[in-house]
Amino acid sequence: MFPKETALLPAIILVPLLGALFNGLFGKRLGKGVVSTVAVATPLIAFFFAAAVFFGLHAADHGPLFSDTSVLVLKAKEGSTTSNLARRLEKAERSLAKRDDLFAAPVVEGKRVLRLVGPAGLADDVRLQTVAQRHSLEIAKAADAAPRSYRYNLGTWISVGNFKVDFEFVVDRLSIILMLVITGVGFLIHLYSTSYMGHEKVGTYARYFTYLNLFIASMLVLVMGGNLLLLFIGWEGVGMCSYLLIGFEYEDPAKAACGTKAFVVNRIGDMGVVLGMFCLLVALSQGGPDIPLSLDFQHLNMALGGKAQAGLVGLGCLLLFFGCTGKSAQIPLHLWLPDAMAGPTPVSALIHAATMVTAGIYLIARMSPIFAGAEVIGVPVLGIVALVGALTAFFAGAAAIGQDDIKKVLAYSTVSQLGYMFLGVGALAMGAAVFHLVTHAFFKAVLFLGAGAVIHATHTQSMRRMGGLKNYMPTTYWTMAVGALALAGFPLLSGFFSKDMILFSALMRAKAEGAHWIWYGLYFLGLGTGFLTAVYSTRLIGMTFWGDYRGGGPGGRHPHAAPSAMASPLFVLGLLSIFAGLLGLPALAAWMKGGAELLPHYVAPVVAQASSALNGYPAPDSHIFHSYEKAGLLIGSMAALCGVAVGWKFWGSKPPSKITWESQVTGSLAGVRQVLANAWYYDEWINKRFVQPAVKYLSGLLWEHVDDNAIDRGLVDGTGRVAVQLSLFTRVFQTGRVARYAAYFVVGAVVILACVHLYSISH
Amino acid sequence: MNSLTTPDAIQIIAALLFCIGVFGVLSRRNLLIILMSVELMLNGANLSLVGFAREFAHLPGKSESAQVMVLMAMAVAAAEVAVGLSILIALFRHVRSVSVDHPQATTLRD
């Protein structure tokens, strides 16, 4: 009864890992053809495996019910003799044991009940027996309602006292969605890269695909890891791949420095994750000596979640969120993502837009039962998450308007959209946040890949030297236009639905919190961001594709259309950007007559729910809920349309030529533009306030104390001094007189014997 | 049983023999005497071993191994004396002395 899907779990990770290993070791010798075949095939295979697991999960959810087993247990107890009963209980337990692969919660609970029922039944205590029976049936029914998942345990990793960490992969509804996005979008981007990197030398080419495959494997470890520590391996793995790929062209010191910056900023966040992990462990250990100290998500969520928690748990959650701000580029650690654009463009699409940067959202959604109740000095942690998310969304969205580098626009846009997701997560709308994560992965990937095609064609990243590309590369134009409209939240495209769902949940949260002004403020910040998003999306398309071509110059070549290996992923992702919104459209589910579940609802059972955590939350089918929903949709589309209109007015109707560009913005607007182009001067501020003093202090410390005193005087001179002193002392004993040597020998023997004797009598 | 052959007495005699040997090694200058003293130490240890072998004769296997070890030590000691004496003769021919304090003997440390 061991489902074959379970065996696929390690294979899903192993396939890209082996691909990386193969390309890393032999790629250089085997040539580009072999390298690209292996590199493109591995994420595709992983995608098919993940799809098989997805359908397996779906079948398991609609397969035999847990209560069947429970009924078996109950039947075993009815009017049976004691020996008979024991035998049947054993049989029932065996049938339960076969279900170990499914999500443990119901099974573990069922086994507990069996243990409870077993002795009670044997004790012939009728009253206790009835209580236990009722209890077991209730749990069985609850277990039937819970969605299934797969577990695959590769063995124990760490076991110290009652602290235990397993090398265990878990796939449930949340992780399978991310796995499909990672492998699916990953495959398309690998395919695109074969053409984008095609002009590189074969060694560089192999290195690139090695890193990219390694990234896919690490990201899969991140989302499939069953405990916090295993997730952290993936977390660090993707950070390393990100570093390697940002500084991919390491001969250029500026690009290598960008990689270092991303790495260092991420390490600061990772410190938060580690400290948060410690806090949660200590909080667990305070529950008593019998509680197993496991970092398993399910264990953590069950032990610490579901109730209001201040103190260590709150602090731990806040620290974990600090880690998320590092990985997912939120204030205060968002400054690395725009610099990450130094990497090749497909990397920006895959790692710095679609997958890695969403790890923070995944982490909070994964641990949402704990986050939902966590508080720090009276402030709910999720409130902080929402506030940070909304502020980041707004400020980064504004900064995106001021950028002239096409990739920087998309980078700030990504920071802004991630802020949206954190707003959704903070408003306890995990499903909506994951929905936006998926749609964002599609439309941001198409935008980045399109930008890559544009850069490939024009050999510049500055939008001032583009323009008029509509006629040269129509495929890229249309797919990017769809992506930009989806990003802008243009009605009926994917971004519209997901963004609206997040804003709506913020509004609902405001309502539930007794119309707290902060939540209304967050809602309006989100709405404003929607407007800004539409403005910069239109600006991006306008400056790149409309008007006349401003690049080239005398004798310059005309830009060429994207080759087919680059165009086909654009097509697929463009289509997904249009239709992915249907995944969350209520009308679709009604049409499918319950056969399919909406993406946000699909995820809902495995994450914390707003309605269960809050009182005063409007019921999903109440009148007030629907009127708010309609109003929200209307206001959201208004904001998007206004933004598109403003963008059209400034950059669409009459695109600036190269000469008039600088004079276009004058007066007070020029100052605003300056601030936005420099992204609110945050980088400069951090540099002046934190980096430079730290560098100054640390270099002084290292030079004066570590290098001069410790290394030069202590280690180098010290070694010599110690040797001289030691030999001055020992030379006294080397006299050449045999009798004296013999005396030393005897004294030594006596001392050793005395020690042995003293030791033996003391023990 | 003769009082000299009680287990305690045997061990005391063995220890005395050993200590006399140690004293000889430490106090004498003549290499020949020192070698003889070393023999005394060896025999002290041997006596201790056979004493224990006798004391624990009722434990099968233990006493036999102790006696075998003593025989072994005797054989090794004989070989060692042969080598030691020949080195002594070689040294005597070289410096015309068997004193360990002889100025030319101390240069052997180099």
Tens of pLDDT, residues A239-292 = 999 999 999 999 999 999 999 999 999 999 999 999 999 999 999 888 777 788
- What's the rounded Cα separation, in Å, for the pair A604 and A760? 67
Candidates A675, A651, A656; CA nearest to A465 is A656
- The residues near B44 (Cβ < 8 Å, ≥ 6 apart) are B14, B15, B16, B17, B18, B19, B20, B21
- What's the rounded Cα separation, in Å, for the pair A700 and A21? 42
Q: Which residues, numbered 17 to 46 in chain B, qualify as contacts with chain A under a Cβ-Cβ cut-off of 8 Å?
A: 22, 25-29, 34
Cβ contact, residue pair B25, A735, below 8 Å: no
Structure token pair of residue A416: 């802004």
Q: What angle do CA A25, A26, A29 make, to 5 degrees?
A: 135
User: pLDDT band at A220, cuts 50/70/90?
Assistant: very high
User: pLDDT band at A191, cuts 50/70/90?
Assistant: very high
- The residues near A497 (Cβ < 8 Å, ≥ 6 apart) are A435, A439, A581, A584, A585
Candidates A381, A383, A23; CA nearest to A213 is A23
Which tens digits make up the pLDDT trace of B60-89? Answer: 777 788 888 899 999 999 999 999 999 989
More confident residue, A598 or A383: A383
- Identify which of A734, A736, A742 has the shortest CB distance to residue B108: A736
- Asked whether the predicted pLDDT for residue A516 surpasses 80, the reply is no
Characterize A664-693 residue by residue with b for buried, 16 or more Cβ atoms within 10 angstroms of its Cβ, and e for exposed.
eeeeeeeeeeeebeebeebbeeeeeeeeee
DSSP class of residue A60 equals H
Cβ contact, residue pair B26, A737, below 8 Å: no
- Asked whether the predicted pLDDT for residue A43 surpasses 60, the reply is yes
Asked whether the bond before A620 is cis by omega within 30 degrees of 0, the reply is: no
Provide mean pLDDT across the span A105-126.
51
Provide mean pLDDT across the span A603-630.
65
Name the residue with tokens 């929200």.
A632
Helix H or strand E encompassing A154: strand A150-160
User: pLDDT band at A75, cuts 50/70/90?
Assistant: low
- Asked whether the predicted pLDDT for residue A109 surpasses 60, the reply is no
Candidates A173, A114, A115; CA nearest to A149 is A173
Provide mean pLDDT across the span A560-577.
89
What percentage of chain B reaches a pLDDT higher than 90? 40
Predicted local confidence at residue A603, as pLDDT? 79
How far is the alpha carbon of B100 from chain A, nearest alpha carbon, in Å? Answer: 7
Helices (H), A404-473: 406-426, 430-458
Domain boundaries, chain B: 6-95
The three-state secondary structure class of A152 is strand
Predicted local confidence at residue A94, as pLDDT? 59
How far is the alpha carbon of B64 from chain A, nearest alpha carbon, in Å? Answer: 26
Predicted local confidence at residue A323, as pLDDT? 95
- Identify which of B25, B105, B110 has the shortest CB distance to residue A742: B25
Cβ contact, residue pair B108, A737, below 8 Å: no
More confident residue, A558 or A65: A558
- What's the rounded Cα separation, in Å, for the pair A567 and A561? 9
Contact list, A734 vs chain B (CB under 8 Å): 109
Domain boundaries, chain A: 67-99+105-145, 151-377, 379-659, 688-762
- Asked whether the predicted pLDDT for residue A542 surpasses 80, the reply is yes
- The residues near A95 (Cβ < 8 Å, ≥ 6 apart) are A69, A72
Structure token pair of residue A185: 């979008």
Task: Suggest the residue from B19, B20, B25 to mutate for an interface test with chain A (most A CBs closer than 10 A).
Answer: B25
Which tens digits make up the pLDDT trace of A369-417? Answer: 899 888 888 888 999 999 999 999 999 999 998 888 999 999 999 999 9
Q: What angle do CA A555, A346, A644 make, to 5 degrees?
A: 80
- Asked whether the predicted pLDDT for residue A93 surpasses 70, the reply is no
- Identify which of A737, A743, A746 has the shortest CB distance to residue B100: A737
The three-state secondary structure class of A80 is coil
Rounded to the nearest 5 percent, the helix, strand and coil shares of chain A are 75, 5, 20
Contact list, B27 vs chain A (CB under 8 Å): 739
User: pLDDT band at A514, cuts 50/70/90?
Assistant: low
What percentage of chain A reaches a pLDDT higher than 70? 82
Q: Which residue of A has its CA nearest to B27?
A: A739
More confident residue, A304 or A73: A304
- Identify which of A736, A739, A742 has the shortest CB distance to residue B109: A736
How far is the alpha carbon of B1 from chain A, nearest alpha carbon, in Å? Answer: 31
Structure token pair of residue A511: 């309502």
Instruction: Render A100-138 in DSSP notation, one character per residue.
Output: TTS-HHHHHHHHHHHHHHHHHHHTT-HHHHHHHHHHHHH
How far is the alpha carbon of B58 from chain A, nearest alpha carbon, in Å? Answer: 25
User: pLDDT band at A601, cuts 50/70/90?
Assistant: confident
CATH number of B6-95: 1.10.287.3510
ipTM summary value: 0.74
Candidates A543, A366, A361, A540; CA nearest to A444 is A540
Predicted local confidence at residue A390, as pLDDT? 95
- What's the rounded Cα separation, in Å, for the pair A706 and A723? 22
Contact list, B88 vs chain A (CB under 8 Å): none
How far is the alpha carbon of A738 from chain B, nearest alpha carbon, in Å? Answer: 7
Predicted local confidence at residue A107, as pLDDT? 47
Comparing A201-210, A273-282, A653-662, A739-748, the range with the smallest average pLDDT is A653-662
- What's the rounded Cα separation, in Å, for the pair A337 and A359? 14
Q: Report pTM.
A: 0.77
Candidates A395, A622, A643; CA nearest to A511 is A622
Which tens digits make up the pLDDT trace of A638-672? Answer: 999 999 888 888 777 555 554 444 445 556 677 78
Q: Which residue of B has its CA nearest to A739?
A: B26
Contact list, B100 vs chain A (CB under 8 Å): 737-739
Residue type, B110: D
Contact list, A739 vs chain B (CB under 8 Å): 25-29, 34, 100-101
- Asked whether the predicted pLDDT for residue A687 surpasses 60, the reply is yes
Answer for the pair A638, A525: CB distance below 8 angstroms, yes or no: no
Predicted local confidence at residue A363, as pLDDT? 95
Structure token pair of residue A60: 């398991």
Predicted local confidence at residue B2, as pLDDT? 64
User: pLDDT band at A762, cuts 50/70/90?
Assistant: confident
How far is the alpha carbon of B55 from chain A, nearest alpha carbon, in Å? Answer: 22
The three-state secondary structure class of A294 is strand
- Identify which of B26, B108, B110 has the shortest CB distance to residue A739: B26
- What's the rounded Cα separation, in Å, for the pair A406 and A543? 9
Answer for the pair B81, B71: CB distance below 8 angstroms, yes or no: no
Comparing A248-257, A421-430, A500-509, B36-45, the range with the smallest average pLDDT is A500-509
